[in-house]
Amino acid sequence: RKKCLLCNNLLMIVAASIMGFSKIAQSFEMILIGRFMCGISLCVPLHHQYVGEISPKKLRGFANSTSSFFWSLGKAMGQISGQRELLGSQALWPVLMAACGFPALVQLVTLPSFPESPPYLLMHKEDLEGCKKAIRQLWGEGHHQAEIDDIMKEKATMKNTKILSVLELVKEPASRWQLYMTIILTATIQLCGINAV
């Protein structure tokens, strides 16, 4: 999880640099390339997953909801700073386009000091000691055997669950309506006014 987030941050910094230098290069194609790179970035779902996995169980819902809050706050700040009086002027719009690289840079610098998520270490890497060390670093000293047992139960459940590829998921009749609903909700979320809220 952490390595993937770091790679995504590098992608965002490259995209921000491409967009920021588009005026100097006099190339609108650079803006298109940079926006495409931002669009294929997996920062948002990975961030939710990592924050949810490193949070203690009693704070997991709160931690996931705060990341959505900061995501919406970032969008609002982008819309505000895009006003002509701020960074939306002809001279400063490249700075506005490159501003998406700043949070990625902050995360790129600070994330290496955070441990890998305990569920990932235990379920995928099968590193029990690394999991315990990560839990102590994240949640402090104490008795965390109950959380480790929960992760072990989840791992046992996953062994009995078949993981589908994207193509298999699309072809699976039992999940077709759920897939349609997810696609429609994701595609229309920008029309619901959540950014204004």
Q: Which residues, 6+ apart, have CB-to-CB distance to 63 below 8 Å?
A: 51, 52, 55
What does the alpha-carbon distance between residue 55 and residue 191 come to, in Å, rounded to a whole number? 31
| Within-domain flag for 90 | yes
Does pLDDT of 193 surpass 70?
Answer: no
pLDDT of residue 109: 93
Tokens of 172: 């699976």
| Within-domain flag for 148 | no
Q: Which domain holds residue 182?
A: 162-196
Give the DSSP letter of residue 191: G
Domain boundary among 98, 114, 130: 114
Picking from 170, 39, 168, the residue whose alpha carbon sits closest to that of residue 100 is: 39
Q: Which secondary-structure segment (H or E) carries 24? A: helix 22-25
| Within-domain flag for 175 | yes
| Within-domain flag for 36 | yes
DSSP codes of every residue in 106-171: HHHHHGGGSPPPHHHHHHTS--HHHHHHHHHHHH-SS--HHHHHHHHHHHHHHHTSPPPPHHHHHH
The verdict on 21 and 106 lying in the same domain is yes
Percent of the chain topping pLDDT 90: 16
| Within-domain flag for 136 | no
Q: Convert the pLDDT of each residue in 97-122 to its tens digit.
A: 899 899 889 999 999 998 888 888 88
| Within-domain flag for 129 | no
Q: Is 158 exposed, middle or buried (0-12, 13-18, 19+ CB in 10 A)?
A: exposed
The verdict on 181 and 106 lying in the same domain is no
What total number of domains does the chain contain?
A: 2
| Within-domain flag for 190 | yes
Domain boundary among 114, 149, 171: 114
Rounded to an integer, the average pLDDT of 13-31 is: 92
Q: Which residue in the block uniquely carries the two structure tokens 């779902």?
A: 45
Give Cα 182 distance to the centre of its chain.
18
pTM beyond 0.75: the answer is no
